[in-house]
A and B are shown apart, each in its own frame.
Chain A
Amino acid sequence: MEIPYIFTPRKDTGMCNSKIAIWLFLASEVMLFGGFFSSYVYLRLGADYPWPERALPVLPGLINTFVLIFSSVTVVFAWAALKLRKWGMFQLCMGITIACAAIFMGLKGIEYNVKWHHQAVRLTDYTILEGHLDKDPKAIDAKGQPYEADVIHVNAEKLTFSTVRFHKPWVEEIIRQAEAGKATVALAEELSLQGQKLPAGTKLSVDLLEAIQKNHLKSRANNADVRTDALRGEWVAAKAKAENAGKQGWEMAPNINIDPAKIANSIMVETPSVSFVVTPPTNLWFKHRDIKEGADQSRLRDDTAIIGKLQDSPVAFHNLDAIDFRHVVMQAEKKGIDPVKAIENTWLIKHSKEAKEAWEWNKAQTARLEQELLDKYGRDENNQPKRVPTLTERYRIGWKDFVAKADGVDKGKEKIHTSEEFMGPNYELREPKHTFPHLHIPRELVFLSGKFTPAWNTYYAIYFTMTFLHGLHVIGGAIVLGYYLFRGKKMYQSNPEWLANRVEVGGLFWHFVDLVWIFLFPILYLM
């Protein structure tokens, strides 16, 4: 079939169809990204925590900006090459464009990966700590590897599973851990299912729980039917009574009840939960997000109750690479407390010698910076210094500051390797100088613990949402442009103008992707 108006303009619009179509599509994209940009504005203005200004490493973002701008130039060159009928030139320019897309996504991947493996902990006193965790030798996973020291240990004596809600992989994990601890998990009391008796002492297995679940669901359905039938019977009988003649349903309702004795024979035993005893009581560990821990009883998210004493379950930092007091300061100012006093009363400063040293060092550095700014810019008419150190400089001790401290240089004068600008600190390289402290935090002080994922705070949530959506656009655009590059030869030979038009339309999309990044880069990396 002949497609009309591929590159000849339609009389009514004065344009070819594809151009109108792509601009309509880009208009809808404006609305899509616009929605997320306004989310960003509102999340930022409404944040009840110090917004992480300029928190991302600038270098990868800057390189990505250059890469995208460069690809925008090459894609328009590719179009011009087709207009000039230079196939080789088109191939070269389009190839570079797609390579740029690959570089962009590669850098994005590195950036995401670093975030995804970087630990953060917020203490109950609002101190925020960042770094990497130790391994916990008591928490061995299914592959025999120690898990990160951010788990909850419980000396389990008794487990009660919810028959309908138990989560299979977690049951399997409990069985595995009990076996590793040479303990048996066995049914606490005898249980009778239809036509089958399960003696006390039957070992826990997923099959067993599934059989109990099946029996429970069957009983529950049966009992519901029996009760409904009985109630229906009562209604029929009530309506037939002479004294109820002419009465409305709501008048009769209070007197209509099921007689339990009548249906006792048809009712089957329901088992909404089932208990198992752990002998001897053994240590089980759980990921902190799966459990709500208590001193004597804890509960998993699938409603499994664990009776047993909570064990020492610290969050153990192998490398503590940032201490952030900005949230402490924010809370202190709300309550009218002196921020420095509030910081010096935190658990961290009172309990960690290294953290105290780092804080004192940072205080001295801030004082130096304050003096420098005063010398340089002077005071205003109210005798206040014109420029003062930022909140970040005052109250956040970042990894670069730890490096500066270890190297014995002033803040901002530290030597950072280029790879560290992408990947974060090189711990092995910094190890000999004990640049980054170790730290054990008692579990009861941990308010929130997690990696820098969307779950950490609204900044990372919107950062990942917007950059991921943008990344999808980069991939989609690269696929379309790649199609023209690798499959366009035939079209070029039969009708070069057609291919030129397609590349122009694909290029318009590509420029739009660049245009979005032009805004994303400053708002996420520089502001």
Chain B
Amino acid sequence: MADSPEQIKKSIKTYTFIGLVLFIFTGVTVAVATVPALDIGVHGFDHWDMILGLLIASFKATLVGYIFMHLNHEKKAIYWIFFGALVFFAFMIVLIMSAKSDPIHFNGFDLGLPF
């Protein structure tokens, strides 16, 4: 962990930079969703917009986690706790989604779906 005053001063610059990056990517998310000229996939909302939106959100979340929450220099136990929870959550979602016969017509992640 950056603990000496020099290191702290250095990381303040990093935080400012990351803050700016988060601002810019928020702007990008809104722009691709609202400006027709920047629209990807078909005209209007479709699965490509969803994928792009979630990718940008995941990227932003990763920045917040790694830089603001100091996961970039954290002890291993923390990774086990936090990513363990994420993996466990993903596992549970897969369990639910593996249902073959339910009223929801979701046939896997083949990306050709009318989301």
Same complex: yes
Bound-state CA distance A76–B65 (Å) is 12
What does the 1/0 interface line of A27-51 toward B look like (CB < 8 Å)? 1101100100010001011100000
* Contact of B43 with A387 in the complex, beta carbons under 8 Å: yes
10 closest A-B pairs by beta carbon, nearest first, are: A390-B44, A27-B85, A73-B19, A387-B43, A526-B33, A34-B89, A46-B104, A522-B53, A30-B85, A69-B22
Bound-state CA distance A390–B93 (Å) is 30
Bound-state CA distance A69–B29 (Å) is 14
Q: Is B75 an interface residue (CB 8 A)?
A: yes
Which of A18-26, A182-190, A439-447, A462-470 lies at the interface?
A18-26
Residues of A within 8 A of B103 (CB): 46
Q: B57 CB to closest chain A CB, in angstroms?
A: 5
Q: Beyond A27-B82, A38-B96, A518-B61: 17 further Cβ-contacts under 8 Å? A: A13-B75, A15-B78, A23-B78, A23-B81, A66-B23, A69-B23, A83-B3, A84-B8, A389-B43, A390-B44, A390-B45, A391-B44, A393-B44, A518-B64, A521-B29, A521-B57, A526-B53
Residues of A within 8 A of B77 (CB): 13-15, 20
Sampled A-B contacts (24; CB under 8 Å): A20-B78, A20-B81, A26-B82, A30-B86, A31-B89, A38-B93, A38-B96, A53-B45, A69-B19, A73-B15, A73-B19, A80-B11, A84-B8, A389-B44, A390-B43, A514-B64, A514-B68, A515-B64, A519-B61, A526-B30, A526-B49, A527-B33, A527-B49, A527-B53
Bound-state CA distance A23–B76 (Å) is 12
Q: Is B111 an interface residue (CB 8 A)?
A: no
* Contact of A511 with B64 in the complex, beta carbons under 8 Å: yes
Residues of B within 8 A of A519 (CB): 54, 57, 61
Residues of B within 8 A of A24 (CB): 81
Q: B6 CB to closest chain A CB, in angstroms?
A: 10
Q: Is A460 an interface residue (CB 8 A)?
A: no
Q: Kindly name the residue among B15, B16, B29, B68 whose own CB sees the greatest number of chain A CB atoms within 10 A.
A: B68
Residues of B within 8 A of A45 (CB): 104-106, 115
Name the residue on B nearest A388 (C-beta): B43
Residues of A within 8 A of B5 (CB): 83-84
Residues of A within 8 A of B93 (CB): 34, 38
Residues of A within 8 A of B18 (CB): 73
What does the 1/0 interface line of B6-35 toward A look like (CB < 8 Å)? 001101100110110011001001100110
Q: Is A77 an interface residue (CB 8 A)?
A: yes
Name the residue on A nearest B7 (C-beta): A83
* Contact of B89 with A30 in the complex, beta carbons under 8 Å: yes
Residues of A within 8 A of B50 (CB): 527
Q: Is A62 an interface residue (CB 8 A)?
A: yes
Residues of B within 8 A of A28 (CB): 85
Bound-state CA distance A53–B19 (Å) is 29
Q: Is A269 an interface residue (CB 8 A)?
A: no
Q: Is A287 an interface residue (CB 8 A)?
A: no
Residues of B within 8 A of A26 (CB): 82, 85
Q: Is A58 an interface residue (CB 8 A)?
A: yes
What does the 1/0 interface line of B37-81 toward A look like (CB < 8 Å)? 000001111000110011011001100110011000001011001
Bound-state CA distance A69–B16 (Å) is 11
Residues of A within 8 A of B57 (CB): 518-519, 521-522
Bound-state CA distance A24–B81 (Å) is 6
Name the residue on B nearest A85 (C-beta): B5
Residues of A within 8 A of B11 (CB): 80
Q: A20, A511, A521, A522: which contacts B68 (Cβ < 8 A)?
A: A511
Q: Decide yes or no: A73 and B16 within 8 Å by CB, A515-B65, A518-B60 being known contacts.
A: yes
Interface residues of A in 62-91 (CB under 8 A from B): 62, 65-66, 69-70, 72-73, 76-77, 80, 83-84
Residues of A within 8 A of B104 (CB): 42, 45-46
